[in-house]
Structure 1
């Protein structure tokens, strides 16, 4: 049995932090698949392109794939601002872009690299599209107001200006776009374990996830 954990959920639900902590605890390789779409959006905006246009988005995808061969482009802090996040959700509805990145994600899940015990992928369609056969699927959610406060705190910690109202409005718009898109809408897989992180801290989240991982993998 391949040791794959699929973690999905909306923006600022805590899935990224949990995924990193869980990967460290289990010695699993980790891929933040949302960063792939953010990186494509970044490439598009850097060239003055329109993230809603397929031609521009595919060019951004090709540019990203070329850079990934020799650079750790997914750890670029510039990918974390809300402008990139909004553009990423526009890029993510383009099926040809999704097709190109799906192959990359599946390859990582099946071959996470030497020295790792398994793979953790977090995103919005891991359990439903990328790794539907993953032995463990988690869906992390939280109240949208709490998620907006988390995102605002994150932005302020990076010296970026943001108001609660603007962040909340953006988050609601992204939720609607992500859950309403035709291509792999945001939703929990039928067999996903749903965890509400609204009132949970990092340690509690990790402890909960480790319990499920132990049941799944022994």
Structure 2
């Protein structure tokens, strides 16, 4: 694509944002930025180092020595591919905790804005259209019922060989939804000019085509 375009995709966990965004990126030939993975990566490093997220000086010290990048669709934390390590219910909750911290948000949002300024991107997360890229050319808010989102996440974990319990996954989804929508810093909500896409009972291809139809 000759001109730089920015596509924001927001929504709760399990709505299919990452899957859809990756496919749209491939069809349009633009970069996919998984901001949720960035918060998961910070949560993962916090957990591995045994740092209490409430200890802001320790968090800030850790952040000053942290690098996050995307290579071939994989997230690289301090030079290491952590795709598998961050895709667990525990890391989902850790991501929710660290995403409420101002120093973490400041570092990652600055990084995300730099990416969006340099090239055409489709970026998914919780506050892309409302905070990270409020001037994005296209904004979408994807959602689905908590039960369907839990079922998708459960099947994803089982497929990866991770031991999972549907009821626990649903409980985690509902807890994450509450925390994301009630946090003080940039709570999860649709941008005023976002197109709402309820993916409950809708196939992936149909959602991709609806987004491509709007962009093209």
Equivalent residue number for residue 84 of structure 2: 77
Deviation at 1:68, TM superposition (A): 4.2
CA contact (8 A) 1:148 1:164 kept: yes
Output the CA distance in 2 between the equivalents of 1:69 and 1:213: 24
- Report the secondary structure of 2:7's partner residue: strand
| Superposed counterparts of 1:41-56, under 5 Å | 41-56=43-58
- Report the secondary structure of 2:66's partner residue: helix
Structure with higher helix content: 1
Output the CA distance in 1 between the equivalents of 2:89 and 2:58: 20
Equivalent residue number for residue 116 of structure 2: 109
Using the size of structure 2 for normalisation, the TM-score is: 0.91
Equivalent residue number for residue 133 of structure 2: 131
RMSD of the alignment, in Å? 1.8
Equivalent residue number for residue 188 of structure 2: 186
Q: Which runs of 5+ in 2 are unaligned?
A: none
Using the size of structure 1 for normalisation, the TM-score is: 0.90
Deviation at 1:75, TM superposition (A): 5.2
Deviation at 1:170, TM superposition (A): 0.7
Q: When the two structures are aligned, how many residues end up with a matched partner?
A: 208
Output the CA distance in 2 between the equivalents of 1:168 and 1:99: 30
CA contact (8 A) 1:127 1:134 kept: yes
Output the CA distance in 2 between the equivalents of 1:7 and 1:77: 23
Q: Which of the numbers 70, 91, 97 marks the counterpart of 2:98?
A: 91
Q: Which runs of 5+ in 1 are unaligned?
A: 113-117
